[in-house]
Every structure is written in C-alpha cells, then in structure tokens.
Chain A
C-alpha cells in the first residue's frame, strides 16, 4: 500500500484572511486524501467547496491571504507543507505540475508558446536551448498540436482554446512529472474538445505513468477518466469510493443529490432534480453535519453532532450517520 501511494494528504486545514476581519475563513477543514501511483483521482464538488484550495495548498500556490493551518502532504514520503520555498520550487513544475481552468488566461500573452514551455525545462534540467527547443517540439507534437515547429514561435492569442489547453498540458507534462494536478481543465472548453483533452490526458498518463488529481464539478468527466473519487462538501470530504462503486452505490445524500441532478435521456418531461439551498458561508458553518440544512433526511442528531468519515467496506468512505447504499433512490 505504502509503495503504491504517491501523495498522502493528512488533516489539511487551510484558511483565508479577508480585509477588515479578524477571524479567518476556513476553506479546507481537515481533508485526508490519498493518490496512488499511476491512478487518476477525482475531487468533486460544487464551486466553493474547497477543491481548488486543496490543490493550491498542496502546490504551495495559495494567494497571499491564504495559509495552511495544519496538515501534512506526504509526497514520496516527503512532507511538502514543511518544505522551504526554495525546496518546494524544485518540486513544483518538475515532480508535480498543474494545469488550470482557463486556457485563455493561463498563458502569458506576451511570450511565445515555445518560450513558456522551454522555461520549465531549462529551469529544472540542465540542457541547452537547442535541446530544449527539440523537446518542446516533441511534446507539442505529442499533445496533438499540428505543425509543432510553427506553433513553437506562436503567441497564445494565435491559438484556439483547445490548442491552448493542449499547450498547457504539454507544458505540465514536458518534465514527466509524478503528479499532474488538473483544476477543471475542460470546464472552459466545448464538449467535443473536452473529450479530446480527456483522451489526451489518459493517453499521456498511460505512457508516462503519471498520477492525476482531477478537480472537477462534472460527474461526466469523473466517469470518463477517474479511478477513484473524493466528493467534497463545504471544505470536507464527505464520500470516497472507487469510480464504479460511486456511480453504482453512492451513499452520502449529497453525492446522491449530485447524481440525481444529472440530466437523463430516459426521464423525458421530468423536472431536473436540484439540491435545495446553497453552500453554507465559510464563516457560518452549521453545527453538526455541514450538509444537514440541505439534506432531505436530516434528523436531530445530524444537526447536533458531526458525523465521522466511516468505512462502509472496501475503502468506501462516507460522512453520514445514515449512509444508504444504492444511488438512485432519490
């Protein structure tokens, strides 16, 4: 088990300060996460549930007002959160790389694509600019960019959104990292491009043996690419299962709500289910179970006590007093 684990996050707490307030808002509240080697782990949840903050905490890329309050992130046995800035920079972009949601704004508009890819290469490995260029063209070709020699000298605005995301992936994969963190990489793209990008990521993963942490709110993406899934709600993991278990028998009412909110072919004319209410304010979390105010099954106990993350068997974890197997009962 240990040998197969690439990254283990333990008890991660991350909070943010905001102007004119003394109390900090805790965006990630004790998250545990394990990413096995060569696997794709999904991190799913609504906007603002702490998915991205979890990833940025691991990368050490939180905004100035953010801070990791507690926790460990053991990467190949080394705690990333205890590293100095300088040590972390050697890992960032090299052993762990990241791609972001907005390919339109995530590339520097005044630098050529080639320059932006070779930059990481030359930073982390000792190669000449000619070799770097060669490698860049290879990776551009690999991520499916036509005429890579020509694209090498292009500026980002000369490429389409799909091509730019391919460039981002190429940039992240050029050093063959152990872990690729993908923060909603296909959200800004249209559906046909999304499928291509996911296929590309899958292919690269098989080739290079990279682990992927896929952050998404899209269960379709999860079904497409993930091996294991963590469902987050209000800064906490509420359910964890392998992808088959999750889709067949998710147990947490929140996950079931998410599943029921997916449009279905068969249910013609039926109103689409939605989870009532909204995500609670970070500074005003409900006591007890954080999902209880929106849960159809909540009782007195749920509002009083916080349910632990319990194992339902086979590593299927669920944070609910009344887990109910069999996803489609809603």
Chain B
C-alpha cells in the first residue's frame, strides 16, 4: 500500500515538469512585450534595454524555464507586473476563498448527488427518478453563467449575490458551482448502482435473507461507489480550479478571478502562476483519486 502510493507520487514529478514546460512555452509565444505592457509608451529604448537585462528577459527560453522551475520549487512564482506583489502572495491571499467555495460546492454535490442517485436507482422509472434525473441533466448541461444569472435574478431580494462575507452569501455560488457536479454524481451513482444490482453476489446476499435495504447498503453501495469516489476526488480539483466563472459573476476574490484579472491586464507572471497552481491541484486530485481507489477496492491493492 505504502509502496503503491510512493510509486504513484513519483510518477507525478515528470507530469508536473512537463505541465510547467507547456504552460511556460505557451505563454512565451503569446505576442506582446511585457515591458511595453508594464510601462506603456512612456519609456525610451535605453531604459527598456536595461530592464530587459535586469529581468533576464534576454536569456534563452530553456534557461528561463529552468530558473522558473527552480524558483517555483522554492515557492517563488515571480512578481506580478501590474500589482507589484509576489504571485505566490497573491495566490495565497485568494486561495482560501476558492477553497471554501469549492468545499461547500463539493459537499453540496455529494450530499445531494449520492442520495438522489440511490433513490433514483431504487425507485427506477418512477416519477421521483425521472424528476431527479431531469434536474441532474439540467445541471450538467446548462452553462454555469446562465444558471448563475437566473439564480441571482430570482433571489436577489432574499440572498446576497456577491462576495463571501456571511454564510448566506455562500448559498447561491455553492448551488451554481455544485449543481452540475451533483448532477453528474447522481447520474453516476444511479447507473453504477443499477449495474451492480445485476451481479451474482447481490443474489447471494439476497439468498442470505438480508432485507433489500441491507443488500443495498451492505453489498451494492460499496461496489457502486468505487467509481463515484474517484470522480469525487477529481471533482474537488476541478471545483477548485473551475470556479473562474462563478467567482467572477459573484465577485469572489478567489484564484479564478485572479486568473481572469491577469488575462485582462496581460499580467503574464500572475497568469502563469495561477494556471500552474490550478494544474498542480488537478494533478493532486488525480493522485488522491488513485490512492482512494486502492483504499476502497481491495482488488487494486494487491497488484
């Protein structure tokens, strides 16, 4: 078990390096000179030359890449061009908002998704099944910004529609961010449970005299939830990074909005930092999913 985790962690190192390389490369080929972005047109050539050398912008691409990785390993993601603060510091300030919102949305999606999936599977083809699967499909297929705007418009007199100051202000962004996840989890839980219920060992469990409820909770659910758990782990990562639209619409000062601001202001180090940060989160989420998988499924543990 420990060996498996160590092996899995080691595999992520080249993935990380490759990922940083790609992002670094892509932002490097984007047209636009950082110094003109920073200083507008107020500069003469001499000052520019000087600054360029100072900021090591003249160095070859690979040298800059290695330096960036080295600095990043030491927690330094460079300075924001526009805000004149370290990118690490900016992300550290913004991340708690994103984290809180992501956790709220993840909890929402599990608490809603799993029970709804179970009930839908048990009451297959009933009204409650059709209704909840319809709502799930709606959540999965409707664009986030649209749901957000509709909810804001509907509840603007009852609930706060921007910021994250009070607990009430969490309600709308949580629903907006968590709905599609909840829908996906509900549908996955339902289909897995229905599939698992067709297995021979379910008949064995029934032949022992277990009640239908205990057959589901004791035998079917653990098998059905194995894929769901991995999806949940990956989902946390994508909730952490996918809140760009939600954060923007609800004016939440999280990492997603930081990235949007960076794009708007052509703040390359900040953009690079936020993109790499979210990519690391996603890699970590996948790692977590793999480890969880081996915890819940004994067949994976023994290789």
Contact = CB atoms under 8 A, between A and B. Distances in A.
Interface stretch (A6-14, A87-95, A194-202): A87-95
B82 interface: no
Interface stretch (A108-116, A131-139, A231-239, A244-252): A108-116
B226 A110 contact: yes
Given A109-B299, A110-B296, A119 B210 contact: yes
B299 A155 contact: yes
Among B206, B209, B296, B298, the most chain A Cβ lie within 10 Å of the Cβ of B209
A105 B222 contact: no
A90 B206 CA distance: 11
A89 B210 contact: yes
A102 interface: yes
B209 A93 contact: yes
Given A106-B201, A109-B201, A94 B209 contact: yes
Nearest to B203: A61
B278 interface: no
Contacts of A158: 302
B199 interface: yes
A124 interface: yes
A91 B199 CA distance: 22
B219 interface: yes
A54 to B, nearest CB: 15
By size class, the interface of chain A is 20 to 34
Given A90-B209, A91-B209, A119-B218, A110 B204 contact: no
Contact of B298 (A94, A98, A109): A109
B211 interface: yes
B74 interface: no
B223 A110 contact: yes
B207 A105 contact: no
A268 B201 CA distance: 43
Contact of A89 (B200, B211, B219, B296): B211
A277 B218 CA distance: 45
B200 A97 contact: no
B205 interface: yes
A10 to B, nearest CB: 23
Interface in A149-206: 155, 157-158, 168, 171
Q: Interface majority SS on B: helix, strand, loop or mixed? A: helix
Among A90, A102, A119, the most chain B Cβ lie within 10 Å of the Cβ of A119
B195 interface: no
B201 A123 contact: no
Contact of B200 (A92, A102, A123): A102
A157 B302 CA distance: 10
Interface string B47-73: 000000000000000000000000000
B261 interface: no
A53 B204 CA distance: 15
A107 interface: yes
A94 B207 CA distance: 9
A105 B222 CA distance: 16
Contacts of A90: 209
B296 A92 contact: no
Given A155-B299, A157-B298, A157-B299, A108 B209 contact: no
Contact of A105 (B201, B210, B298): B201
B208 A120 contact: yes
Contacts of B299: 109-110, 155, 157
18 contacts: A61-B207, A89-B209, A92-B206, A92-B208, A93-B210, A97-B207, A98-B207, A100-B200, A100-B204, A102-B200, A108-B204, A108-B205, A109-B201, A119-B218, A120-B209, A124-B209, A155-B299, A157-B299
